[in-house]
Amino acid sequence: MTRRGARRDRGATVVELAMLMPVILAVVLLIVQFALWFHGRQVADAAAREGARFARVAGPEAGGWQADAEARAVQIVRAIGPSLLRGATARAWEEGDQRGVEVTGTAVQVVPLLPDTTFTVTARFGGPVECFRPDDGSDSCG
């Protein structure tokens, strides 16, 4: 290449980098956003699982199990990552002989210009109420 041709290409790399950098930065931020949403979901899962454990062990006639299960779920969110799952709320539920907890919150938002509702995380766990059933053929928990 002649000296004259080499001079015309000077600065081309800087222009290419200036054009590609916003795209690369956006992709990196989206990857970080997905990772934070996923981690927030893991925190909600752990909290709902622990709250559901409290709800199931309370027994069929136990009063106030809802408040205990919800408090335990919120306590787990605060212990694991209060900044990872913002505005976390827990709601205890009972359907027949099934009890559990549903935890809802918002994952951290890294990418600006995206709506907050996009990163809402909900986890629901539950199972049958644990109780002792006597071996006399009766179906009551005692």
pLDDT of 34-56, one tens digit each?
A: 999 999 999 999 999 999 998 88
Distance CA 129, CA 66 (A): 13
- What's the CA angle centered on 27, arms 25 and 28, to 5 degrees? 65
pTM: 0.76
124-137 average pLDDT score: 80
pLDDT > 70? residue 2: no
Assigned token pair, 120? 């809402």
Q: State how far Cα 107 lies from the chain centre.
A: 7
pLDDT band, very low/low/confident/very high, at 62 (cuts 50, 70, 90): low
pLDDT score at 89:
93
- What's the CA angle centered on 37, arms 35 and 43, to 5 degrees? 105
Q: Are strands 85-95 and 98-107 parallel, antiparallel or unpaired?
A: antiparallel
Assigned token pair, 118? 């996009």
**Any idea what DSSP says for residue 100?**
E
76-91 average pLDDT score: 89
- What's the CA angle centered on 33, arms 31 and 38, to 5 degrees? 95
Highest-confidence range of 23-27, 85-89, 99-103, 131-135, by mean pLDDT?
Answer: 99-103
pLDDT score at 47:
95
Assigned token pair, 89? 């709320």
Q: Residue ranges per domain, the chain?
A: 12-128
- Is the model more confident about 140 or about 54? 54
Distance CA 18, CA 20 (A): 6
